[in-house]
Every structure is written in C-alpha cells, then in structure tokens.
C-alpha cells in the first residue's frame, strides 16, 4: 500500500488548445494555465498521475504528414507514430510547465513523462467502425473540398459543431509500462503517462506490434487509475460540471450522483458518444472496479472541486 494519496487527472486534448489556436506557443500557454491548477492539488499533498488527450493535436500532425507526403514527397508518418509524437511533445510541455510551477512554490519539481504503450485486441470491432474524432472542425463550406482532397478520410458530424475526421478507437486492455509508472510514483515523482490514450499495440505470439488507432484517453486513464489503486480519478473537460438536458431550458448540473443514477441518464442518451459519453463510461467503470470517487470538472476548477466540492462528484451510492 502506497504511503501517499494518488489522484489520476485526465486532461482533455481540446483544453490544451485555447480559442482554436493550435500553434505550439499557444498550446504551451494553455498547458501553463492547466499546470497551475494541477500544482494546487500537489500542494495539498496529493501525488499526481497526469494523462492527456491528443485528438486535435494528432489530427493536425497526421494532416501535416499527409500534405508533406503529397506535395513534397516526404515520407508518410503513420497514425501510430503520430500518437507517439504527441505523447512526447505534449508530455514535455506538461513536464516543463508543471516542474517550473512547483519550483516557484518551493515544492519538489520531480516530474517525468513515460512513453506508454497500451495493448488492444486486434479483433476489437472498433477497427471496423471508426468513431474517434481527431483534428479540427470543418463547416459546410469546407467539407466538400476536404472530402474531394482526402477521399480515404471518414468524416462525421461532432455534437453539431461541424464535421471531423474519425479513426478506429479500440478499448485498452493492458498498460505495458504500468510497473515503471508505479515505480516513479513510489519514488516521489509526479508522472505524465498514457498520453493520447497510449500508443496502441497488439500481441502476436510473444511480440507486440503497433497498430493505427487512437485509444480514448478517458478509458485508458480509468484502467490506469484502477490498476494503480488511485484514491481519486479526475476527468478534466470543457465544462465546470456534467449537465443533463444540455443546451435546453431544462439543463441541470449534476453535483453529487451515484453510478446507478448516472447509468439511467446514460441509457436515456443524455451523453453523446463524441463528447461526454466516454467520460461518463470511464467514471462508472472506475467506481464499479473498486474506485471510490470520480470528479468531472474544468481544468480551472480542479482545485476547487477537490477542496470544496465543486464540479460533478460520482460515487458508488
């Protein structure tokens, strides 16, 4: 049993791109803001494992690779490697920003990023039914050109905000670097791991091989949280709290709720697959697999949610 309180904090990839500005400098500015809120939690005595999304970032990188290949003849970067690249890039920015913020507060800056492989089932039906959104949004004016220039892309409308590219998103089975992550936590480090849901690999005989997919980061975060016996699982998203009847006059924020009540809302179709759905499923799975508490809230509200009960808190009963 670890002698520290462990919180797994899952940060959404969209929250690392503010005002639709994907330049690296703008992304780092967003990371610095998020690091301040995470440092508040560390200052309160928690050890932290940070996971993060990469949907927009991996989409931009894949598009850049495809354009460079098409127009400049440069080698193509497969989706698998785009996931690995975003793990390193986003992990570095979080590691840098969080270490600096902790140092400013007179706290240990020990923070490390672990490139993380995650095993998936090669027979997962999601390989035949891609539904994971990546990249930016395209409106009605752009969509025909996008389809004409990229005939191999699969595009779907995302929560009435426009069309986005979709790719396979199999369920995570096993975190290959789990022991390394646990060792770093036990030795006083705050860890960034499982970035972008992890680099997807399948086992063939005694060997692992990479596959082109993007694993949902909330599902991987849930698996890591349960596997490490985390005391708390925090899912950071674009709203301060989960709501039902979202966007209607009957919208209602959920503050404290049981898994059973949450499941009823899920069955009603309250939480879309492309946005809140995976977060709710991950939260329920964490509790059902022995976890004690899940908080869903915005990055700026993380500290207030843990200290003062803000956000949505999910329990077994």
Residue 271 has pLDDT above 70, yes or no: yes
Q: Which SS3 state, helix, strand or coil, does residue 308 take? A: helix
Which of 141, 128, 136 shows the shortest CA–CA distance to 155? 136
* Arithmetic mean of pLDDT, 151-174: 87
Active site residue ranges: 13-14, 132, 217, 279
Give domain status of residue 268, yes or no. no
What pLDDT, on a 0 to 100 scale, did the predictor assign at position 240?
Answer: 94
Distance from C-alpha of 181 to C-alpha of 199, rounded to nearest angstrom: 15
Which of 50, 41, 48, 51 shows the shortest CA–CA distance to 188? 48
Write out the two tokens for 283. Answer: 């939260």
* Arithmetic mean of pLDDT, 252-281: 93
| DSSP assignment of 187-214 | TT-EEEESGGG-EEEEEETTEEEE-S--
Give domain status of residue 11, yes or no. yes
How sure is the predictor about 274, in pLDDT bands with cuts at 50, 70 and 90? low
Question: In terms of pLDDT, which residue wins out, 70 or 123?
Answer: 123
Residue 180 has pLDDT above 60, yes or no: yes
Give domain status of residue 304, yes or no. no
Give domain status of residue 188, yes or no. yes
Q: Tally the residues of the chain.
A: 317
Q: How many independent structural domains does the chain possess? A: 1
Question: In terms of pLDDT, which residue wins out, 20 or 149?
Answer: 149
Domain that holds residue 86: 5-55+81-122+174-230
Planar angle of CA 231, 234, 236, nearest 5 degrees: 170
What pLDDT, on a 0 to 100 scale, did the predictor assign at position 163?
Answer: 87
Give domain status of residue 207, yes or no. yes
What pLDDT, on a 0 to 100 scale, did the predictor assign at position 295?
Answer: 98
Give domain status of residue 91, yes or no. yes
Percent of the chain with pLDDT over 90: 73
Residue 317 has pLDDT above 70, yes or no: yes
Give domain status of residue 187, yes or no. yes
Write out the two tokens for 262. Answer: 């949450």
Residue 77 has pLDDT above 70, yes or no: yes
What pLDDT, on a 0 to 100 scale, did the predictor assign at position 269?
Answer: 94
What pLDDT, on a 0 to 100 scale, did the predictor assign at position 1?
Answer: 56
- Domain with residue 25: its CATH number is 3.40.1160.10
- List, for residues 2-16, the tens digit of each pLDDT value: 789 999 999 988 778
Give domain status of residue 178, yes or no. yes
Residue 239 has pLDDT above 70, yes or no: yes
Residue 122 has pLDDT above 80, yes or no: yes
Residue 243 has pLDDT above 80, yes or no: yes
What pLDDT, on a 0 to 100 scale, did the predictor assign at position 314?
Answer: 98
- List, for residues 196-229, the tens digit of each pLDDT value: 999 999 999 999 999 999 999 999 999 999 999 9
* Arithmetic mean of pLDDT, 82-95: 96
| Mean of all residue pLDDT scores within the chain | 92
């Amino acid at each position: 049993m670890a002698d520290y309180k462990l919180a797994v904090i899952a940060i959404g990839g969209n929250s690392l791109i503010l005002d639709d500005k994907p330049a690296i400098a703008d992304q780092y500015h967003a990371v610095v803001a998020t690091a301040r809120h995470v440092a508040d939690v560390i200052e309160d005595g928690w050890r932290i494992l940070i996971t993060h999304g990469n949907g927009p970032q991996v989409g931009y990188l894949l598009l850049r690779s495809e354009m460079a290949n098409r127009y400049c003849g440069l080698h193509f970067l497969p989706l698998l490697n785009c996931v690995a690249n975003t793990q390193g890039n986003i992990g570095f920015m979080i590691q840098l920003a969080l270490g600096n913020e902790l140092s400013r507060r007179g706290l240990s800056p020990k923070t490390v990023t672990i490139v993380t492989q995650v095993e998936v089932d090669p027979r997962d039906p999601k390989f035949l039914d891609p539904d994971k959104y990546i990249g930016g949004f395209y409106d009605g004016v752009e969509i025909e050109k996008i389809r004409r220039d990229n005939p191999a892309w699969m595009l779907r409308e995302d929560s009435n905000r426009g069309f986005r590219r979709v790719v396979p998103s199999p369920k995570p089975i096993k975190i290959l670097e789990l022991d390394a992550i646990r060792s770093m936590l036990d030795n006083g480090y705050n860890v960034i791991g499982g970035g972008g849901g992890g680099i997807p690999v399948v086992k063939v005989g005694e060997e692992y091989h990479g596959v082109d997919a993007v694993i949902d980061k909330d599902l991987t975060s849930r698996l890591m949280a349960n596997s490490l016996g985390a005391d708390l699982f925090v899912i950071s998203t674009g709203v301060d709290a989960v709501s039902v009847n979202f966007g209607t006059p009957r919208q209602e924020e959920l503050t404290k709720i049981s898994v059973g009540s949450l499941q009823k809302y899920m069955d009603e179709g309250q939480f879309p697959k492309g946005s809140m759905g995976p977060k709710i499923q991950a939260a329920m799975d964490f509790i059902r697999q022995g976890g004690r508490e899940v908080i869903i809230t915005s990055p700026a509200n993380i500290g207030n949610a843990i200290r003062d009960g803000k956000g949505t808190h999910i329990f077994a009963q």
